[in-house]
């Protein structure tokens, strides 16, 4: 069973727990102070990612500036032009792609915050242009109350659990250690999730994928069984074969138990239906007539046929328990 992290194992409602802004832009007589907070708000306001929503919540009251050439950079962040300057908001991978290392003009207070926050398992988001990193924000997304126990129960049922996330390696390991998941892959782009499922299938495994977001839909479609969280995106729910309406991970073990029980009931019903017909059809056809003249009354035959259906339905109703 392959699980997405955000919104599946975690609440999917991250919040900004700490932030550091370059102090050189925070002086009272510097008009950039307001502008850069507004810039961050304006960019994040145009993104539908849960992290962007959390950043906007922390910047409530800022001005929504006009943004030109807005761009969502898959799995890394966003970009847009505000007042003639191209700004970027995203993770360290985006910083490396655009600038390389942290620009020398960046104040040490900003750069020095990144390492400790990543070590603490936070998700780090940066606001920068090609000259300087202006702000670093640490975001945390709490585990669902049921996640740890749900993973333990699934593992006890003999299911191997894998976790995929677009987050950084340290944050991914932090969640994995809390939940007891041994197989973890970080920095995963949406298309990589489907490829990961394919590789597991190629190794001979039957794979269930559990996710909630648009970026999980390809993996949900690729898996032998797609399971969507009820609070997730409509695309994920439409793609998956099963939806956990409450988004409670403990329901996954119930799903497994119910599925196994259902297959057992189906096999029992098939056995009794075939066994019954194997005996009753020749009898109704008069197989005993040449021997002792016995013929089955049609009304009795009809009653027996109805009784067989009652037995199958009654056996199936045991699933209600």
Closest by CA to 309, choosing from 262, 273, 271, 283, is: 273
Closest by CA to 128, choosing from 164, 91, 83, is: 91
The rounded distance, in Å, linking the Cα atoms of 25 and 18 is 18
Q: With contact defined as beta carbons under 8 Å apart, do 19 and 124 qualify?
A: no
Provide the terminal-to-terminal Cα distance of the chain, rounded to the nearest Å.
Answer: 26
Length of the chain in terms of residues written: 321
Spot the catalytic one: 4, 141, 212, 216.
4
Q: Which residues of 197-232 are buried (b: 16+ CB within 10 A; e: fewer)?
A: beebeeeeeebbbbbbbebbbbbbbbbebbbbbeeb
> How far, in whole angstroms, is CA 164 from its chain's centroid?
8
- DSSP category for residue 143: B
Q: With contact defined as beta carbons under 8 Å apart, do 9 and 3 qualify?
A: yes
| Integer angstrom CA distances of residue 129 from 81, 82, 102, 227 | 10, 11, 11, 39
Burial label for 265, CB within 10 Å (0-12, 13-18, 19+), is middle
User: Which sign does the torsion angle of CA 301, 302, 308, 314 carry?
Assistant: negative
Q: With contact defined as beta carbons under 8 Å apart, do 256 and 157 qualify?
A: yes
Q: Quick check: is 112 catalytic?
A: no
The rounded distance, in Å, linking the Cα atoms of 138 and 114 is 8
- Strand 2-4, strand 208-211: pairing: parallel
User: Which sign does the torsion angle of CA 152, 154, 157, 158 carry?
Assistant: negative
Collapse the DSSP code of 71 into the 3-class scheme (helix H, G, I; strand E, B; otherwise coil) and give the result: strand
Catalytic site positions: 4
């Amino acid at each position: 069973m392959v699980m997405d992290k955000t919104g599946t194992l975690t609440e999917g409602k991250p919040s900004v727990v700490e932030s550091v802004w370059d102090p050189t832009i925070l002086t009272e007589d510097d008009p950039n102070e307001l502008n850069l907070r507004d810039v961050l708000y304006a960019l994040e306001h145009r993104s539908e990612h849960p992290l962007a929503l959390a950043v906007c919540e922390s910047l409530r009251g800022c001005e929504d500036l006009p943004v030109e050439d807005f761009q969502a950079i898959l799995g890394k962040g966003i970009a847009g032009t505000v007042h003639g300057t191209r700004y970027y908001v995203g993770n360290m991978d985006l910083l490396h792609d655009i600038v390389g290392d942290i620009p020398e003009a960046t104040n040490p207070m900003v750069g020095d915050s990144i390492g400790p926050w990543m070590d603490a398992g936070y998700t780090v988001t940066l606001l920068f242009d090609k000259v300087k990193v202006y702000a670093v924000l640490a975001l945390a997304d709490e585990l669902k109350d049921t996640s740890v126990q749900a993973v333990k129960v699934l593992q006890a049922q003999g299911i191997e659990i894998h976790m995929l996330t677009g987050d950084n390696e340290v944050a991914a390991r932090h969640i994995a250690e809390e939940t007891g998941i041994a197989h973890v892959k970080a920095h995963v782009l949406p298309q990589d999730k489907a490829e990961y499922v394919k590789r597991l299938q190629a190794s001979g495994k039957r794979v269930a994928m559990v996710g909630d977001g648009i970026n999980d839909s390809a993996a949900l479609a690729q898996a032998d069984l797609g399971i969507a969280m009820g609070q997730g995106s409509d695309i994920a729910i439409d793609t998956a074969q099963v939806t956990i309406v409450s988004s409670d991970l403990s329901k996954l073990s119930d799903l497994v138990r119910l599925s196994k029980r259902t297959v057992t009931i189906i096999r029992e019903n098939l056995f009794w239906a075939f066994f019954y017909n194997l005996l009753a059809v020749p009898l109704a056809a008069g197989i005993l007539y040449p021997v002792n003249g016995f013929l089955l009354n049609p009304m009795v035959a009809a009653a027996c046929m109805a009784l067989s259906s009652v037995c199958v339905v009654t056996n199936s109703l045991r699933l209600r328990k």
